[in-house]
Amino acid sequence: MASLITGMNPTAPIRTEAEAESAAKASAISIFIGVIVAAVSIAWSLANPAAMQDAVASAAGSDVNAEAAAMGAQVAIYATGGLAVLQLILGFVQLRNPGKFMAILFLVLLAYGILSTAATPLLVGMVPNAPVVPVWQIALSLVIMVVQVVLHIAGLRGINKLDKLQMDSAR
C-alpha cells in the first residue's frame, strides 16, 4: 500500500520495476475516480428526477412539454451510465496492462473537461434559460479533475519507466 501511495506522487523518483508498476497504476486509479464521480451523478439524478426534468426543460426552451423533458432526462442518465460502464472497463484494462495511449487519451479528455467546466460561468450568461450551476459544484469538479490529471501524469511516468526498465533488461 505504501508503494502505491508513493507511486501516485508525480515527483517521487522511480528506481525499481515494482515502483514503476505502482506508479503506472495511478492512471487506472484516476479512471476509477471518474467512475465514482459518474456514479454519484447518476445517483443524484435518480434521486432528483424533477430537478433533472426542469434542467432539461429550461435548457431546451419553452416549447418543450413535460414528457419530452422526462425523456431527455432519461437519455442523459442512460448515456452517463453507459459512459461510466465503458470507463470502468477501460480502468480495469489500464490496471491490468498500463498503456500510454489510455493515459494520454484520458489526459486530453480531462483537459477538455477542465476547460469546459472553467468556462461554465461564462457560458451560462450567454445561453438564455440555461440552468445555473452552483460555484461550489464547479470548484469541486475542477479539484477532482486536477487530482485526476496529477494521477495520470504519475501513471505516465511509471509507464515510461516500466517500459525503459523492461527494455534494459531485455538487452
Residue 6 belongs to some domain of the structure: no
pLDDT one-digit tens code per residue, 55-87: 766 666 666 677 776 777 788 889 989 999 999
Higher-scoring residue by pLDDT: 55, 38: 38
pLDDT at 2: 54
For residues 100 and 109, the answer to whether their CB atoms sit within 8 Å is no
Residue 83 belongs to some domain of the structure: yes
pLDDT at 123: 78
- Residue 154 in this model has a pLDDT that exceeds 70: yes
Residue 5 belongs to some domain of the structure: no
Which of 28-32, 88-92, 117-121, 155-159 has the lowest average pLDDT? 117-121
Neighbouring residues of 53: CB distance < 8 A, sequence distance ≥ 6: 66, 69, 70, 72, 73
Q: Give the separation between CA 159 and CA 161, rounded to whole angstroms.
A: 6
pLDDT one-digit tens code per residue, 107-117: 999 999 999 99
Residue 118 belongs to some domain of the structure: yes
- pLDDT grade, residue 15 (50/70/90)? confident
**Number of structural domains the chain divides into:** 1
Residue 106 belongs to some domain of the structure: yes
Q: What is Dmax (Cα atoms) for the chain? A: 68
Structural domain including 89 reads: 24-164
Dihedral, CA of residue 40, residue 46, residue 49 and residue 54, to nearest 10:
30
Distance from CA of residue 81 to its chain's centroid?
13
Give the closest residue to 117 by CA, choosing from 37, 60, 57.
Answer: 37
If you average pLDDT over residues 11-36, what whole number do you get? 89
State the pTM of this model. 0.84
Residue 3 belongs to some domain of the structure: no
Q: Give the separation between CA 49 and CA 33, rounded to whole angstroms.
A: 24
